[in-house]
Amino acid sequence: MQIGLVGLPVSGKTTVFQTLTQIYLDAAAAMKRESNQAIVKVPDKRLDTLTEMFNPKKKVNATIEIVDLVGLQKGDRTSSQFNSQFISKVKTNDAFIHVVRGFEDEMNPHIEGSIDIYRDICSLEDEFLLTDLAFVESRLEKLDKDLMKQKNKDDIKHEIETMQKWHKTLEENIPLRELDFEESEIKYVKNYQPLTAKPLLIALNLAEGDVAKSDEILNSIKSKISGNNIRIEPFFAKIELELSQLPPEEKDMFMEEYGLTDSPLDRMIRRAYDLLGLQSFFTVGEDECRAWTIRKGMTAQDAAGAIHTDFYNKFIRAEVVGYDDFIEAGSMAKCKEKGIFRLEGKEYICKDADILNIRHG
Ligand SMILES: Nc1nc2c(ncn2[C@@H]2O[C@H](COP(=O)(O)OP(=O)(O)OP(=O)(O)O)[C@@H](O)[C@H]2O)c(=O)[nH]1
Ligand SMILES: [Mg+2]
């Protein structure tokens, strides 16, 4: 699962990347116009609680991969679209975090000369739309030619219909993530990876002085932008970068100083996780408490497969208890006593935060 950080130059992408990954770059490396890539732990208070209860040797968080893409320069586009090198790099991401600049900094001026959150959000969305539109148009041209040449016309006709529908949507300035894709369309989404079909988290990188105003700023943006598979979150990259480098005992005091109650970046990474349609299940024990990642709607057998392919193949049953039920009961023994530790078959659809024990052959 890969999430790409996108946005204009000097919006704070690399600062976010460093905070999330705890990989600290020196000034020269941070300014390099290359993309950085790393694995990030998904913070999870439920896993923390389970770890406190079981006191295992190891705690393992779920992870996602974060890619810090270089800022979009004006030169990255030819009139209406990004260059092909940039597109091929962004397409492989499963979702985007669009870092939008909301802070003033005279030393690093904004490329447009002023701070305007709404303008910057629209400008990236427009570029994504135009890129998809250009793709769909060239695809339609190609399909028209194929229609004359090839024998199997049904497949081509179906794709033409789909591309025409996408084209109409994009021309109306509507991103493809607004469409409820039909089963038969999904393969095109998978093959062509249109940028506007991907979940989008808009991260408003606000000034340090705007902590108290962040709700107000968020609401004003939300009143103008909404949609399917889109979320907007405010955060403070610079504060968070400092915060992430402090020893734990100093963190609370520092957060209080800025009026922060929890880490906005922790919240953001969880939001990104939800946005991708992901959920966790837990395995617990004295050796290890661990959060595993599966897609919503997956079965107990799929969950077993996330742990090991052998568990998938030799799946017998899963012992399941919901996280809340477990906490209420207070221990595994109590869960068994009360009969809330259930046996489920391979078709069982996992719920978020199920605690599983897979029985396999
Ligand atoms: N005041 C303030 N400065 C910030 C904030 N976030 C980033 N900066 C500063 O802005 C500059 C650029 O930040 P980066 O994180 O490198 O921005 P970027 O989006 O990666 O930039 P490119 O890689 O060039 O596209 C650095 O000097 C940061 O210290 C913020 O929230 N507040
Ligand atoms: Mg950068």
71 CB less than 6 Å from ligand 1? yes
Kindly provide the b/e burial profile for residues 199-219, where b requires at least 16 CB atoms within 10 angstroms of the residue's own CB. bbbbbbbbbeeebeebeebbe
Q: Is 346 helix (H, G, I), strand (E, B) or coil?
A: coil
Ligand nearest to the backbone CA of 102: 1
Amino acid letter at 249?
E
Residue 64 has what pLDDT? 85
Q: What does 253-322 look like in DSSP terms, one character per residue?
A: HHHHHHT-SS-HHHHHHHHHHHHTTEEEEEE-SSSEEEEEEEETT-BHHHHHHHH-HHHHHTEEEEEEEE
Both tokens of residue 223? 């009143």
104 CB less than 6 Å from ligand 1? no
Residue 77 has what pLDDT? 47
70 CB less than 6 Å from ligand 1? yes
The closest alpha carbon to 282, from 315, 306, 256, belongs to: 306
Spacing, Cα 245 to ligand 2 middle (Å): 19
Spacing, Cα 15 to ligand 1 middle (Å): 6
Could you tell me what percent of the chain has a pLDDT over 90? 52
Residue 74 has what pLDDT? 56
Which ranges of the chain have pLDDT less than 70?
A: 30-34, 70-82, 264-265
Residue 84 has what pLDDT? 76
Torsion of CA 233, 236, 241, 245, to 10 degrees: -90
pTM of structure? 0.83
Task: Give the ligand 1 atom nearest the CA of 11.
Answer: 19
19 CB less than 6 Å from ligand 1? no
13 CB less than 6 Å from ligand 1? yes
Residue 80 has what pLDDT? 46
Protein residue closest via CA to atom 5 of ligand 1: 238
Q: What does 50-95 look like in DSSP terms, one character per residue?
A: HHHHH--SEEE--EEEEEEPPP--GGGEETTEE-HHHHHHHHT-SE
Residue 164 has what pLDDT? 97
Torsion angles phi and psi, residue 326, rounded to 5: -65, -45
Residue 33 has what pLDDT? 61
- Token match 């896993």: residue? 47
Ligand nearest to the backbone CA of 115: 1
- Token match 């919503």: residue? 296
Residue 188 has what pLDDT? 95
Spacing, Cα 361 to ligand 2 middle (Å): 49
Protein residue closest via CA to atom 14 of ligand 1: 12
